[in-house]
Structures are given as structure tokens and as C-alpha cells.
């Protein structure tokens, strides 16, 4: 950690900072410049918090130099992590498109959806049994019944399933139904108790970015999961909140190369929630794959007009199939393989 003193900070003030560094078991390195004295704390700086220095008299600013995340950091784990999802590889050379409806509605709808997902060449399937909805008066998901429909539909094509966990009390149920990938949604990215619990199980976790979460906070949330022992974490960029009102969210493609630099874990993108409209999905999907994403979470509904929620963002089966065709070429252009 670096502590920058105010211009004209007194020797006594500098000593107080040094005293506190030593108290924490670290040592100091003092650099007296023309306009500022800067004090470096040498040792494991994760044990220090900038705020405890910033309130000392004469201190202008204190900042961490070393990143606060460790297990998820590429700095400590150079090679890409490839996650095995019931035999399907996510990360590395392959780019996986995970298709399926926003929410589980009926057994028939899920069977049909699974047929189309498999026919489009996807190796993984998504669908929501528990739905986070802004309004308490709208459809909240089928719950456990939905898990059952999903499990049954997917096993006909041996598709591993991805579904969202909202309530920590449902984790056991998720394990019983053998959900292959647990999704932590945007609104729960900093639900720390939930993160701690999924950190204790052995299932891969998709961690969606909070609506206005910084890259650093997102990595720290992954670190919460990793610290519990579960290192099978997949980041999912799903659009961030900005001032723009012409579309729901702004898909942050820059996050893809930045995350790939900061962490060894895979990064996927959800173009459906980002734009909020089906007609935007192909362009956003192509951009994500071109930028280096390891996968996509795409909403597809057997009959979008009849979908029970987010109807306007689901692709038709044919659109998904066509999109996969284009994405395969883009993946190839950058030396990767789609749905490999």
C-alpha cells in the first residue's frame, strides 16, 4: 500500500503512519519528494485497509498497489482454466453457445426447446425456474416444478443444464436435481452469503456481473466463491447500466479482454439481457465472440410470441441456428471453434 502525505505534512504525522504500518506487522519505505512524501508499506498489504490511513492527520490518500483478489487472478495462475461441465469443456479453444428459454413454462415447451437447442448444435442448455422480477405482481417462475421439467427435457439430448439460484435455502434442492451449472444473477452478485454457500459445493458457477459492478468488485465476488473451495467459476457479462435509454443495458465488450488479462477463468456473455431485444442479439453475439468470449448465453424460445416473460428478447429456433452458422465463421477467424 502507498500512503501519500499532504504537502507540508509534519514529521510527527509521518511517524504516526509508520507506527501504524509496523503495528500491522509490515515495514515502511519512505520517499520524500519535492511536493509530497510517499510512504510504502512493505509486506502482505491485504491486511491493511486504505481507510484506516486516510483518517490519520496529514494523509492525503492511501491506495492498494497489489490487487485484492488472489485465487482468481491470472497473476498467480498463468494458464487458462477450462471448466468441465458434465463432459462439455468451457474455456480454452472452444466457444460454447448455451441456448434455451428465459423461463421454464411447461414440459412440452421445454422438450421442444431442448430439441431446438440440440438441433442448432449447442452443447449446453439454459432456462429459469426461479425468476428475479422487478415487480411482485408478475410471473415469478415455476420453482421446483420448473427444475423437474428442465431436467427431464434436457436429459433426452444429454444437455447439461444452467439455471439461476436466487435463494440460499434452495441450494440443497439444486443439488438434488443435479443442476449442472448454478447461475448467480446480476442482482445477487454481491449477495455474499449466497456466494459463500455456492463456494462450498462442487458445481460450476456462472457469476453474472452486477448492473453497475466494477471489474474489480466482480473479481472480488468470484474470490468469495473461490475462497470457499469452488474454483469452477465462469464470469458472465450481461450489460451494464448507463445513461442511455435507447436500449436496456450497454454490453461491455471491453470487459472481455480485460477479464482475460486479469483472471484465468472463462468469460461468457449474455447478449439477450444486454440489449433486451431479439433483433439486437445477432450483432451483440458476433461482437462478443469476436472480442474473445468463451461462450454465450442466448435466449431461444420455440415460439417467442407465446413466451411468459421477456418475450421480445428470445430468438426463434431458426434464428439461433442461423446465428450459430455466422458465429462459427467468426470463431474460426480468430482461431477458435464454436460448440466444439
Judged by CB under 8 A, which of 113, 129, 207, 278 binds a second copy? 278
279 near a second copy (CB under 8 A): yes
Judged by CB under 8 A, which of 280, 321, 322, 340 binds a second copy? 280
Which range binds a second copy by CB under 8 A, 104-112, 154-162, 172-180, 305-313?
305-313
- Calculate Rg over the CA atoms of the chain: 23
Kindly identify the residues of this chain, within the stretch 27-56, that bind a second copy according to CB under 8 A: 29, 31, 33-36, 38, 40, 42-44, 46, 49, 51-52, 54-56
Residue 77: beta bridge partners? none
| DSSP H or E segment with residue 67 | none
Round to the nearest angstrom and report the end-to-end CA distance of the chain: 44
Kindly identify the residues of this chain, within the stretch 78-137, that bind a second copy according to CB under 8 A: 132-137
Backbone CA torsion sign across 236, 281, 283, 181: positive
Residues 6+ apart with CB under 8 A from 198: 165, 171, 182, 184, 205, 225, 228, 230
Kindly identify the residues of this chain, within the stretch 201-260, that bind a second copy according to CB under 8 A: 210-212, 214-217, 220, 223-224, 227, 239-247, 250-254, 256-258
User: Nearest approach, Cβ of 144 to a second copy (angstroms)?
Assistant: 14
| Backbone torsion region of residue 239, taken as left when φ is above 0, otherwise alpha when ψ lies between -120 and 50, otherwise beta | left
Q: In whole angstroms, what is the distance from residue 23 CA to residue 36 CA?
A: 24
Kindly identify the residues of this chain, within the stretch 1-20, that bind a second copy according to CB under 8 A: 2, 4, 7
DSSP state of 240: B
Q: In whole angstroms, what is the distance from residue 111 CA to residue 302 CA?
A: 10
Nearer Cβ to a second copy, position 154 or 201? 201
Kindly identify the residues of this chain, within the stretch 175-204, that bind a second copy according to CB under 8 A: 187-188, 190-193, 196
Q: What is the largest CA-CA distance in the chain?
A: 76
310 near a second copy (CB under 8 A): yes
The contact pattern for a second copy, residues 145-174, with x = CB under 8 A and - = no contact, is: ---------------------xxxx-----
Say how many residues touch a second copy, by CB under 8 A: 102
Nearer Cβ to a second copy, position 56 or 118? 56
Alpha-carbon 223 to chain mean position: 12
> Would you tell me how many other CB atoms lie within 10 Å of the CB of residue 308?
18
> Would you tell me how many other CB atoms lie within 10 Å of the CB of residue 80?
15
Nearer Cβ to a second copy, position 49 or 152? 49
Amino acid at each position: 500500500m502507498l500512503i501519500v502525505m499532504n504537502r507540508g505534512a509534519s514529521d510527527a504525522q509521518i511517524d504516526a503512519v509508520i507506527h501504524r504500518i509496523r503495528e500491522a506487522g509490515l515495514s515502511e519505505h519512505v520517499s520524500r519528494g519535492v511536493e509530497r512524501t510517499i510512504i510504502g508499506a512493505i509486506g502482505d498489504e491485504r491486511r491493511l485497509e486504505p481507510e484506516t490511513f486516510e483518517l490519520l492527520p496529514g494523509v492525503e490518500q492511501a491506495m492498494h498497489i497489489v490487487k485484492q483478489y488472489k485465487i482468481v487472478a491470472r497473476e498467480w495462475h498463468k494458464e487458462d482454466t477450462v471448466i468441465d461441465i458434465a463432459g462439455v469443456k468451457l474455456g480454452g479453444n472452444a466457444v460454447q453457445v448455451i441456448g434455451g428459454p428465459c423461463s421454464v413454462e411447461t414440459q412440452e415447451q421445454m422438450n421442444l426447446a431442448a430439441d431446438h437447442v440440440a438441433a442448432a448444435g449447442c452443447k449446453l442448455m439454459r432456462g429459469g425456474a426461479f425468476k428475479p422480477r422487478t415487480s411482485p405482481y408478475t410471473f415469478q417462475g415455476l420453482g421446483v416444478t420448473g427444475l423437474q421439467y428442465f431436467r427431464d427435457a434436457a436429459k433426452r439430448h444429454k444437455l447439461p443444464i444452467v439455471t439461476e439460484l436466487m435463494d440460499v435455502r434452495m441450494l440443497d434442492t439444486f443439488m438434488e436435481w443435479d443442476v449442472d451449472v448454478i447461475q448467480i444473477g446480476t442482482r445477487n452478485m454481491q449477495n455474499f452469503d449466497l456466494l459463500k454457500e455456492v463456494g462450498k459445493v462442487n458445481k460450476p458457477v456462472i457469476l453474472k456481473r452486477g448492473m453497475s459492478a466494477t471489474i474489480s468488485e466482480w473479481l472480488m465476488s468470484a474470490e468469495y466463491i473461490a475462497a470457499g473451495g469452488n474454483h469452477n467459476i465462469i464470469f458472465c457479462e450481461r450489460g451494464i447500466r448507463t445513461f442511455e435509454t435507447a436500449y436496456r443495458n450497454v454490453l461491455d465488450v471491453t470487459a472481455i479482454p480485460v477479464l482475460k488479462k486479469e483472471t484465468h477463468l472463462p468469460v461468457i456473455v449474455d447478449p439477450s439481457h444486454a440489449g433486451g431485444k431479439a433483433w439486437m442479439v445477432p450483432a451483440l453475439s458476433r461482437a462478443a465472440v469476436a472480442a474473445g468470449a468463451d461462450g454465450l448465453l442466448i435466449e431461444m424460445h420455440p415460439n417467442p410470441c407465446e413466451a411468459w416473460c421477456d418475450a421480445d428478447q428470445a430468438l426463434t429456433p431458426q434464428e439461433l441456428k442461423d446465428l450459430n452458422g455466422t458465429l462459427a465463421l467468426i470463431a474460426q477467424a480468430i482461431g477458435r471453434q464454436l460448440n466444439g
